[in-house]
């Protein structure tokens, strides 16, 4: 069975209420949710992504340190989400700045699975790594068709045939300038945390592996990175963040502690990375709800000390870091003291200085905690932005629908990062509840819900 199944005729979705042709109508207009203040707004669109409206999907976007959003050369946006209940990992694509979305691909046998995607630099070629219910780690590549906006699978291979836990393993993928592919993923065991680092020099046909252990550490996350000196892994636990490298010639690991406070989250996954040229930038949130940013200089191989950007004065729970094609950095974080508020900062000098770009407000009738899961009174706020983007910056937030217990979706903002800074009003947002009456306004009926 192919890793990605390609869809062109939307009539094949008739079995699912949310894939019917009626669902191709535009998503709700944002006007009733927030009011832009100022002469210009960077927000091109905001609203609920109704095709991601599903029950029992706590891992709709997992995990924080992975990437699930890309922008192709035609300006189209693509996000890989886990819709669960038989649909699993699903690629949604938008050709109108996030106003409407279509299903363009699915990965079978991936209910509850974790994934990571990225575009090959300078190409509309997508790298995907994911876990499966059968205990495998799969790798695939997909080519984008600019003519019809579809994806075609080119390569699919097994990084690991069996043995991983689909509910706890979170893989990441990278490619170097020579085309070598690397994958890193975590394995939780009775004796502690394990890291598996795999690489392929033949396009994914065969894989070599190396492993190392973190005895006594319950959980962690591993972001594989490509540097001028080869591949490396940014390893995050609750206690620290460590920069690891592996030498296949001597079968040895080397490590450097780059942040002594670690990252928060079930898998210590509340951190984000991006690159500009040979430099790597990493932002993380620790258990004290403090956000810090650090830089790896590719020319010297040295990490800077972690620092909190000057505009941030309060506490936060999550962070995403994005790089624009113009070399700018964009930092998205949540304001812990104001539920539903996200702040976007911009840096045009490699993170030396930061300025406020936008303040976004998720409507107050939506809850940001999709589950009751808490970490020492730290709310589980899930949101994501791409590591790299060209024109529009997509920020997607997982929300819970009041009155529909267990139902979740994504609330999205699409920003024009060249527009002037703006605040989206955090007041005068009406309370809404998804009743059968207002569901009908979005082509959703009681029969639609029952069909799921």
**Can you tell me the mean pLDDT for 122-148?**
95
Give the pLDDT band of residue 166 (cuts 50, 70, 90).
confident
Q: Where are the domains of the chain?
A: 5-14+30-451
For residue 226, give both structure tokens.
Answer: 């490509």
Whether the per-residue pLDDT at 35 is higher than 90: the answer is: no
The whole model's pTM is what?
A: 0.85
178 contact partners, CB below 8 Å, separation of at least 6: none
Spatial separation of the C-alpha atoms in residues 400 and 55, rounded to whole Å: 10
Please list, residue by residue across 27-40, b when 16 or more beta carbons sit within 10 angstroms of its beta carbon and e when fewer do: bbebeebbebeeee
Query: Cβ(221)–Cβ(186) under 8 Å?
Result: yes
**Can you tell me the mean pLDDT for 222-236?**
98
What is the share, in percent, of the chain residues with pLDDT greater than 70?
A: 81
Q: What is the pLDDT of residue 420?
A: 60
Q: What is the pLDDT of residue 142?
A: 93
**Predicted confidence (pLDDT) per residue in 380-389, tens digit:** 688 999 999 9
- Number of Cβ within a 10 Å radius of residue 219: 19
Stretch among 117-131, 268-282, 303-317, 428-442 having the lowest mean pLDDT: 428-442
The fold for domain 5-14+30-451 equals: Neuraminidase (2.120.10)
Q: What is the pLDDT of residue 286?
A: 96
**Predicted confidence (pLDDT) per residue in 395-435, tens digit:** 999 998 888 888 899 999 999 998 765 555 433 333 333 43
Q: What is the pLDDT of residue 179?
A: 96
**Predicted confidence (pLDDT) per residue in 155-165, tens digit:** 899 999 998 98
Q: What is the pLDDT of residue 183?
A: 98
* Residues present in the chain in total: 452
**Can you tell me the mean pLDDT for 134-145?**
95
Residue 390, φ and ψ in degrees, nearest 5: -105, -55
**Predicted confidence (pLDDT) per residue in 313-351, tens digit:** 999 999 999 999 999 999 999 998 888 999 999 999 999
Q: What is the pLDDT of residue 158?
A: 96
Give the pLDDT band of residue 167 (cuts 50, 70, 90).
confident
Q: What is the pLDDT of residue 79?
A: 97
Q: What is the pLDDT of residue 276?
A: 98
């Amino acid at each position: 069975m192919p890793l990605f199944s390609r869809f062109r005729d939307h009539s094949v979705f008739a079995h699912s209420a949310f894939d019917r042709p009626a669902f191709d109508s535009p998503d709700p207009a944002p006007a009733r949710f927030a009011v832009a203040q100022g002469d210009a707004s960077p927000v091109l669109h905001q609203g609920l992504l109704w095709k991601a409206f599903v029950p029992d999907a706590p891992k709709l976007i997992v995990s924080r340190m992975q990437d699930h959003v890309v922008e192709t050369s035609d300006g189209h946006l693509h996000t890989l989400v886990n819709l669960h209940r038989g649909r699993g990992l699903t690629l949604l694509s938008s050709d109108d700045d996030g106003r409407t979305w279509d299903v363009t691909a699915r990965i079978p046998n991936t209910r509850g699975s974790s994934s990571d995607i990225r575009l090959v630099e300078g190409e509309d070629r997508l790298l995907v790594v994911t876990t499966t219910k059968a205990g495998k780690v799969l790798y695939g590549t997909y080519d984008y068709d600019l003519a019809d906006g579809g994806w075609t699978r080119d390569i699919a291979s097994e990084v690991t045939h069996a043995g991983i836990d689909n509910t706890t393993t979170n893989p990441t993928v990278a490619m170097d300038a020579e085309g070598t592919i690397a994958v890193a993923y975590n394995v939780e065991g009775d004796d502690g945390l394990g890291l598996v680092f795999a690489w392929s020099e033949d396009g994914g046909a065969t894989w070599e592996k190396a492993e190392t252990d973190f005895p006594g550490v319950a959980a962690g996350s591993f972001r594989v990175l490509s540097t001028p000196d080869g591949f490396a892994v940014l390893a995050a636990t609750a206690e620290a963040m460590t920069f690891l490298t592996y030498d296949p010639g001597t079968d040895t690991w080397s490590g450097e502690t780059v942040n002594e406070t670690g990252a928060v989250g079930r898998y210590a996954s509340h951190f984000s990375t991006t690159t500009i040229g040979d430099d790597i930038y990493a932002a993380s949130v620790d258990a004290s709800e403090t956000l810090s940013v650090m830089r790896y200089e590719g020319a010297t191989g040295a990490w800077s000390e972690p620092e909190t950007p000057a505009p941030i004065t309060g506490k936060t729970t999550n962070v995403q870091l994005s790089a624009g094609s113009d070399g700018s950095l964009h930092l998205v974080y949540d304001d812990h003291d104001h539920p539903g508020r996200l702040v976007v900062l911009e840096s045009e000098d490699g993170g030396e200085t930061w300025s406020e770009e936008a303040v976004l407000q998720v409507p107050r009738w939506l809850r940001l905690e999709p589950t009751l899961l808490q970490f020492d009174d730290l709310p589980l706020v899930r949101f994501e932005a791409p590591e790299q983007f060209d024109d529009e910056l997509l920020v997607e937030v997982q929300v819970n629908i009041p009155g529909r217990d267990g139902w979740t979706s994504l609330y999205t903002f699409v920003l024009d990062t060249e527009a002037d800074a703006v605040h989206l009003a955090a007041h005068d947002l009406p309370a809404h509840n998804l009743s059968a009456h207002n569901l009908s306004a979005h082509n959703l009926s009681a029969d639609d819900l029952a069909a799921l």
